[in-house]
Amino acid sequence: GAGVSQSPRYKVAKRGQDVALRCDPISGHVSLFWYQQALGQGPEFLTYFQNEAQLDKSGLPSDRFFAERPEGSVSTLKIQRTQQEDSAVYLCASSLTGKSRWGQFFGPGTRLTVL
């Protein structure tokens, strides 16, 4: 595919469940980003990978959030023991280089609802 893909598109979880969200970036893109977008807000940075290295995880809201990109392509965002405040759209973006000045390409997002 030509664009960034994410799965699942929608996820409903009961409070306390673990969830895993997947991102397939554009082939060859070095950088991968995860964002959290709450209703009525812009994306909030969660974490950044350059190839397989997680260079910045300062935006992860708690130690329940964990992201990996073991082979430098597909990435997974895992949320353990989900809470209602985790309900949001989780966006993945990729870019060709390590510099965002060239823009980031976004996937459709995963809408997570925690009941």
Partner 1 sequence: AQSVSQHNHHVILSEAASLELGCNYSYGGTVNLFWYVQYPGQHLQLLLKYFSGDPLVKGIKGFEAEFIKSKFSFNLRKPSVQWSDTAEYFCAVNPMDSNYQLIWGAGTKLIIKP
Catalog residues that contact partner 1 under the rule CB under 8 A. 3-4, 31, 33, 40-45, 48, 50, 55-56, 91, 93, 95, 98-101, 103-109
The residue (of 16 and 98) whose beta carbon lies closer to partner 1 is 98
C-alpha dihedral over 1, 21, 87, 41, to 10 degrees?
-40
Sign of CA pseudo-dihedral 47, 24, 88, 44: positive
Sign of CA pseudo-dihedral 59, 81, 4, 26: positive
Q: How far is the CB of 86 from partner 1 (least distance, A)?
A: 19
The residue (of 5 and 87) whose beta carbon lies closer to partner 1 is 5
CA distance 71 to 55: 15
The residue (of 6 and 82) whose beta carbon lies closer to partner 1 is 6
The residue (of 7 and 17) whose beta carbon lies closer to partner 1 is 7
Return the amino acid letter for 45: F
Q: How far is the CB of 111 from partner 1 (least distance, A)?
A: 12
Q: How far is the CB of 79 from partner 1 (least distance, A)?
A: 21
CA distance 10 to 1: 20
Q: How far is the CB of 8 from partner 1 (least distance, A)?
A: 15
